[in-house]
Amino acid sequence: MKVFLGIDVGSVSTNIAAVDLQQQIVDTVYLRTQGQPILAIQQALREIGRRIPGLDIAGVGTTGSGRHLAGVVVGADTVKNEITAHAVAAMHLVPAARTVFEIGGQDSKIIIIRDGIVTDFAMNTVCAAGTGSFLDQQAARLNIPIEEFGRRTSESRSPTRVAGRCAVFAESDMIHKQQAGHQIADILSGLCQALVRNYLNNVGKGKPISSPVVFQGGVAANAGMKRAFEEALGYPVVVPPYYDVMGAIGAALLAQEAITPERATKFRGLDLVDYRFRSAIFECTGCPNQCEVVEIGFQDHVLARWGDRCGKWGDNPVSVS
């Protein structure tokens, strides 16, 4: 089977999507990055190769915060930012989409789409409030499996007002409300409402939010967050299939665009799952900036370097076939 692969390497998860020549989604893999992106990429590729016998990879695209690293490791044909990848995937699965809410493990984004074109966007990478990691942390503190979080919010009859402008204040307020005797379901529902207020007032501030709204990213699995968005906006919010791997799907579709009859894929092949890549950091002493330069290598070869400000290293990566 000939497919295009999209690889989305984030701080929390590493995802792969396989899309066929007709842009149908063949399979997806979702794995935890666990601080080891190269190993996560290799594990995800091994899994997709196991699931699809006779896999013929026609092209590969990468995205996410680790997109450049992933691109070097796999030999990507295209490397795109998360905004582009998520917008492409949203328009593919929900063609009428005009607004995209994307909330992942460590950051959140809003994308405004008009007539199939991204016209505006914003990202929040500073505060953890509202991200998947914060919700995971609060669920663990309350001894509630994260899979049960959304269901528990549906039991709420009187959501508690929780301060949601800051992760630290939100947690303190939740503890205070617990000690005051509020029900757990009401606190969870109130937390979802607080995080939605925080998102709309910060990430979405000044943005022309209009329906259809597509909600994607790992947090879209939380029914309480979806319900809170719908209550705040006053209309339905669409959670598409494959909501948790949309970046990878977008990267696969972009890889298909990048490949032409005159341009063969640069993908290194599935054998790379057995390669032993090495990474190192050194400090450049060429000027007072003293940049930390990251070096990615394989055996005795240097694949790429980046991290410098002047381009001395990053603009001249060494690659091997």
**Total of domains in the chain:** 3
Q: What is the pLDDT of residue 25?
A: 96
Do 270 and 302 share a domain, yes or no? Answer: no
DSSP 8-state assignment for residue 210: -
User: Residue 235 is part of a domain; what is its CATH number?
Assistant: 3.30.420.40
Residues 6+ apart with CB under 8 A from 50: none
Do 270 and 283 share a domain, yes or no? Answer: no
Tokens of 77: 């044909």
Nearest to 122 by CA among 209, 241, 62, 217: 209
Do 172 and 288 share a domain, yes or no? Answer: no
Nearest to 24 by CA among 114, 70, 93: 93
Nearest to 14 by CA among 52, 48, 51: 48
Tokens of 130: 């509202």
Do 115 and 231 share a domain, yes or no? Answer: yes
pLDDT tens readout for residues 189-242: 988 898 898 889 889 989 999 999 999 998 898 999 999 999 999 999 999 999
* Position 279 confidence tier, pLDDT thresholds 50, 70, 90: confident
- What residue numbers bound the domain in which 289 lies? 276-321
Exposure string over 285-321, b if 16+ CB within 10 A, otherwise e: eeeeeebebbbbbbeeebbbbbebeeeebbeeeeeee
Mean pLDDT, the chain, rounded, equals: 89
Nearest to 45 by CA among 264, 211, 197, 272: 272
**pLDDT surpassing 70 at residue 318:** no
Do 105 and 234 share a domain, yes or no? Answer: yes
Do 57 and 9 share a domain, yes or no? Answer: yes
Weakest mean pLDDT among 55-69, 154-168, 213-227: 154-168
Do 266 and 308 share a domain, yes or no? Answer: no
Nearest to 136 by CA among 214, 197, 221, 215: 221
Do 108 and 188 share a domain, yes or no? Answer: yes
Around 214, how many Cα atoms within 13 Å sit in the side-chain half-sphere?
Answer: 26
* Position 321 confidence tier, pLDDT thresholds 50, 70, 90: very low
Do 177 and 132 share a domain, yes or no? Answer: yes
Do 304 and 205 share a domain, yes or no? Answer: no
Do 73 and 118 share a domain, yes or no? Answer: no
Report CA 110 to chain centroid distance, whole Å: 13
Pick the more confident residue, 316 or 79.
Answer: 79
- Model-level pTM? 0.89
Nearest to 318 by CA among 305, 300, 299, 307: 305
Do 200 and 72 share a domain, yes or no? Answer: no
